[in-house]
Amino acid sequence: MWVAVDIQARGMRVWVHDQDAVIPLEADLGVSSNEPLVAVLGRLLLPYVKGAEPLLVLCSGASDPASFAPVPVAPPNGGTAVQVQECDPRMDLRAISGVGQARPSDFLSGEETAVAGFIAAHPKWDGVLCITGNHSKWVHISAGEIVSFQTFMTTEMFELLAQRSSLAGDVGESGWDSDAFALAVSDAMSRPEKMTATLFSLHADAVLKDPSPAVARARLFGMLVGMELAAARPYWLGQNVAVIGTGDTADHYVAALKGQGVIAPQLDRDKMGLEGLRAAFMSLQTNDA
């Protein structure tokens, strides 16, 4: 028996592997609290720590920055995982290393395991992964290695602006307008520097004309994604691109890329993370043997 743990910005995914069975545990609540990881895992995995051997727990997204592997590098595998000392002695908790980059200064912390899962499923693939989320990560992969990457705070900025800024009253909590989104992406790509000015025009439109919260929502996200696509152009232009992510945010990235003529297949982030953790487990078995 072993446990795969994938810590993401919005929650933790946990899968207990018992022989051929994979039991997903609901663990999202644990991470949003300030409870330390080892305490959350100790509590969550209590029913499974009964054996004579310590329970192996392989965890991505929890590595110490000091152990980040520098690019270019194959996604760190189980053999590079660092044992976390301060945990329940009935668990053998190992943190898979993240990936660091000096210029531009950046890091992957957990996403490298989703990349490993993708590479395990597509060993010959060269191109770029766009891993969506609170922060999106564009990751250039070649010959099974992470060559370079770039993180964008687009979705976090969107939520800050939509929920906590002067625009909060103008931008709907739901609703969408695909045309407004496409236009905003295209405008932001051609005049990215106008973004902070265009932001206020959303508010002015709501004050001076008829407010349209769904249109404002799509325009705001479109402006920010357009800026991201402008800056990430070296990543996606003329490249194989796959989007790792599901749900509305990922769908909007796929639509924005399609608007630039890039047809990107879309993969499930959790599934890629699980595959990466399984590959790490396999490599660990090989190392230990």
Mark the segment that binds a second copy (CB under 8 A) among 28-36, 48-56, 85-93, 157-165: 157-165
Shortest spacing between CB 35 and a second copy, in angstroms: 18
Can residue 249 be called a binding residue for a second copy (CB under 8 A)? no
Can residue 160 be called a binding residue for a second copy (CB under 8 A)? yes
Give the separation between CA 195 and CA 71, rounded to whole angstroms.
Answer: 32
Residues 42-71 that bind a second copy (CB under 8 A): 65, 68
Shortest spacing between CB 155 and a second copy, in angstroms: 10
Can residue 113 be called a binding residue for a second copy (CB under 8 A)? no
Specify the residue, 122 or 135, whose C-beta has the smaller distance to a second copy: 135
Mark the segment that binds a second copy (CB under 8 A) among 82-90, 123-131, 148-156, 170-178: 148-156
Mark the segment that binds a second copy (CB under 8 A) among 25-33, 34-42, 153-161, 260-268: 153-161
Mark the segment that binds a second copy (CB under 8 A) among 22-30, 205-213, 241-249, 261-269: 205-213
The single residue listed with the structure tokens 């190392």 is: 287
Can residue 173 be called a binding residue for a second copy (CB under 8 A)? no
